[in-house]
Structure 1
Amino acid sequence: MKLKFFAIGVGAALAFGACKKDDNGSSVQVDQQLQEAILEASGGVGPTFYTLPLSNDYNKIPQDPRNPLTAEKVELGALLYHETGIGLNPKQTSHMGQYACASCHFASAGFQAGRWQGIADGGLGFGVNGEGRIPDPSYDPSELDVQPIRTPSAMNLAYQEAILWNGQFGATGVNAGTEANWTPGTPKETNNLGYQGLETQAIAGLGVHRMKMDETVCQTLNYDALFDAAFPNVDPSVRYNLEHAGLAIAAYERTLLANQAPFQLWLRGNSNAMSEQEKRGAVLFFGKAGCTSCHNGPSLANMEFYALGMKDLYENPNPVFGADANSDANLGRFSFTGKEEDKYKFKVPQLYNLADSPFYGHGASFTSIREVVEYKNKAQKENPAVPDSYLAEEFKPLNLSQGEIDDLTAFLTNALRDPNLMRYQPLSVRSGHCIPNNDEQSKIDLGCN
Structure 2
Amino acid sequence: MGKNYLYLWSISFIFLVSCTETEDYELARTALDIRLEELLVQNANGQGKRFFLLPDSDDFNAIPQDPLNPLNTFKVALGQLLLHETATAGAPKMSQMEGTYSCASCHPVASSFYSGRRQGIGEGGAGFGFAGEGRQIDLNMPLDSVDLQPVRPPTLLNVAYQETALWNGMLGATGPNLGTESRWAATGVPENHLGFQGLETQALVGQLTHRLQIDEDFINSNGYRWLFDQAFGDVAPGSRYTSQTAALALAAFNRTLLANRSPWQDYLKGDYDALSDREKRGAIVFAGKGQCITCHTGPALKDQEFHAFGFGHFDDSNDAIVLDDAGFDMVKKGRGGFTGNSSDNYKFKTPTLYNLRDAAFYGHGATFNSIEEVVRYKNNTSLQDQNASLNLASEMGAIDLTEEEISDLVYFLDKSLYDAELTRYVPGAVQSGNCFPNADPQSRIDLGCN
Q: TM-score, normalised by structure 1?
A: 0.92
> In structure 1, what is the equivalent of residue 82 of structure 2?
80
Using the TM superposition, give the Cα deviation of residue 190 of structure 1 relative to its aligned residue in structure 2, in angstroms. Answer: 1.0
> In structure 1, what is the equivalent of residue 169 of structure 2?
167
Query: 1: distance between equivalents of 2:40 and 2:258?
Result: 20
Letter in 1 for 2:71: L
Letter in 1 for 2:37: Q
Query: 2: distance between equivalents of 1:118 and 1:363?
Result: 12
> In structure 1, what is the equivalent of residue 284 of structure 2?
283
> Which runs of 5 or more residues in structure 2 are unaligned?
1-26
> In structure 1, what is the equivalent of residue 155 of structure 2?
153
> In structure 2, what is the equivalent of residue 427 of structure 1?
428
Using the TM superposition, give the Cα deviation of residue 270 of structure 1 relative to its aligned residue in structure 2, in angstroms. Answer: 1.4
**What secondary structure sits across from 1:327 in the alignment?**
helix
> In structure 2, what is the equivalent of residue 197 of structure 1?
198
Query: 2: distance between equivalents of 1:393 and 1:161?
Result: 24
Quick check: which has more Rg, 1 or 2?
2
Query: Which residues of 2 match residues 235-246 of structure 1 at below 5 A?
Result: 235-246=236-247
Using the TM superposition, give the Cα deviation of residue 26 of structure 1 relative to its aligned residue in structure 2, in angstroms. Answer: 7.0
Which structure exhibits the higher relative contact order, with contacts defined as CA atoms closer than 8 Å and separated by 6 or more residues? 1
Distance 1:400 1:184, change over 3 A: closer
Letter in 2 for 1:70: N
Q: State the Cα RMSD in Å.
A: 1.5
Using the TM superposition, give the Cα deviation of residue 393 of structure 1 relative to its aligned residue in structure 2, in angstroms. Answer: 2.2
Query: Which residues of 2 match residues 209-228 of structure 1 at below 5 A?
Result: 209-228=210-229
Query: 2: distance between equivalents of 1:80 and 1:203?
Result: 13
Query: 1: distance between equivalents of 2:403 and 2:28?
Result: 23
**What secondary structure sits across from 1:436 in the alignment?**
coil
> In structure 2, what is the equivalent of residue 61 of structure 1?
63
Whether 2:343 is the aligned partner of 1:357: answer no
Using the TM superposition, give the Cα deviation of residue 319 of structure 1 relative to its aligned residue in structure 2, in angstroms. Answer: 4.0
User: Which whole-Å deviations, capped at 9, do the CAs of 1:400-449 have from their partners, x for residues lacking one?
Assistant: 11111010001111100100111101111001111211111001111122
Contact between 2:308 and 2:391, CA under 8 Å: does it hold in 1? yes
Letter in 2 for 1:97: G
User: Which whole-Å deviations, capped at 9, do the CAs of 1:146-199 have from their partners, x for residues lacking one?
Assistant: 22111111110111001110000010011011111111793x111111001111
User: Which whole-Å deviations, capped at 9, do the CAs of 1:293-330 have from their partners, x for residues lacking one?
Assistant: 11111000011111111111111021424265853211
> In structure 2, what is the equivalent of residue 255 of structure 1?
256
Using the TM superposition, give the Cα deviation of residue 207 of structure 1 relative to its aligned residue in structure 2, in angstroms. Answer: 1.3
Contact between 1:147 and 1:322, CA under 8 Å: does it hold in 2? no
Query: 2: distance between equivalents of 1:122 and 1:210?
Result: 11
Query: 2: distance between equivalents of 1:231 and 1:144?
Result: 34
Using the TM superposition, give the Cα deviation of residue 339 of structure 1 relative to its aligned residue in structure 2, in angstroms. Answer: 0.9
Letter in 1 for 2:365: G
> In structure 1, what is the equivalent of residue 385 of structure 2?
383
> In structure 1, what is the equivalent of residue 446 of structure 2?
445
Contact between 2:92 and 2:211, CA under 8 Å: does it hold in 1? yes
Query: 1: distance between equivalents of 2:365 and 2:186?
Result: 28
> In structure 2, what is the equivalent of residue 105 of structure 1?
107
Letter in 2 for 1:30: L
Contact between 1:148 and 1:314, CA under 8 Å: does it hold in 2? no
Query: 2: distance between equivalents of 1:129 and 1:27?
Result: 38
Query: 1: distance between equivalents of 2:158 and 2:355?
Result: 11
User: Which whole-Å deviations, capped at 9, do the CAs of 1:67-105 have from their partners, x for residues lacking one?
Assistant: 000001000000001101011011111110011110001
Query: 2: distance between equivalents of 1:358 and 1:185?
Result: 31
Using the TM superposition, give the Cα deviation of residue 388 of structure 1 relative to its aligned residue in structure 2, in angstroms. Answer: 2.2
Whether 2:318 is the aligned partner of 1:317: answer yes
Letter in 2 for 1:73: K
- Report which stretch shifted further, 152-161 or 177-186: 177-186
User: Which whole-Å deviations, capped at 9, do the CAs of 1:245-286 have from their partners, x for residues lacking one?
Assistant: 000000000000000011001111111111211111011111
Letter in 2 for 1:287: G
Query: 2: distance between equivalents of 1:88 and 1:206?
Result: 10
Query: 1: distance between equivalents of 2:133 and 2:218?
Result: 31
Query: 1: distance between equivalents of 2:29 and 2:410?
Result: 19
Letter in 2 for 1:364: A
Distance 1:230 1:344, change over 3 A: same
Query: 2: distance between equivalents of 1:383 and 1:192?
Result: 33
Letter in 1 for 2:200: E
Contact between 1:313 and 1:323, CA under 8 Å: does it hold in 2? no
Query: 2: distance between equivalents of 1:356 and 1:438?
Result: 23
Whether 2:327 is the aligned partner of 1:334: answer no
Contact between 1:149 and 1:323, CA under 8 Å: does it hold in 2? no
Contact between 2:29 and 2:272, CA under 8 Å: does it hold in 1? no
> Which runs of 5 or more residues in structure 1 are unaligned?
1-24
Whether 2:302 is the aligned partner of 1:301: answer yes
Contact between 2:171 and 2:198, CA under 8 Å: does it hold in 1? yes
Structure 1 segments of 4+ aligned residues over 2 angstroms from their partners? 319-327
Contact between 1:213 and 1:242, CA under 8 Å: does it hold in 2? yes
Letter in 2 for 1:106: P
User: Which whole-Å deviations, capped at 9, do the CAs of 1:213-237 have from their partners, x for residues lacking one?
Assistant: 1111101000000000000010111
Picking from 40, 47, 50, the partner of 2:49 is 47
Query: 1: distance between equivalents of 2:172 and 2:201?
Result: 6
Using the TM superposition, give the Cα deviation of residue 379 of structure 1 relative to its aligned residue in structure 2, in angstroms. Answer: 3.2
Query: 2: distance between equivalents of 1:79 and 1:338?
Result: 38
Contact between 1:147 and 1:323, CA under 8 Å: does it hold in 2? no
Contact between 1:27 and 1:276, CA under 8 Å: does it hold in 2? no
> In structure 2, what is the equivalent of residue 119 of structure 1?
121
Contact between 2:308 and 2:388, CA under 8 Å: does it hold in 1? no
Contact between 1:148 and 1:327, CA under 8 Å: does it hold in 2? no
Contact between 1:113 and 1:130, CA under 8 Å: does it hold in 2? yes
Query: 2: distance between equivalents of 1:43 and 1:280?
Result: 22
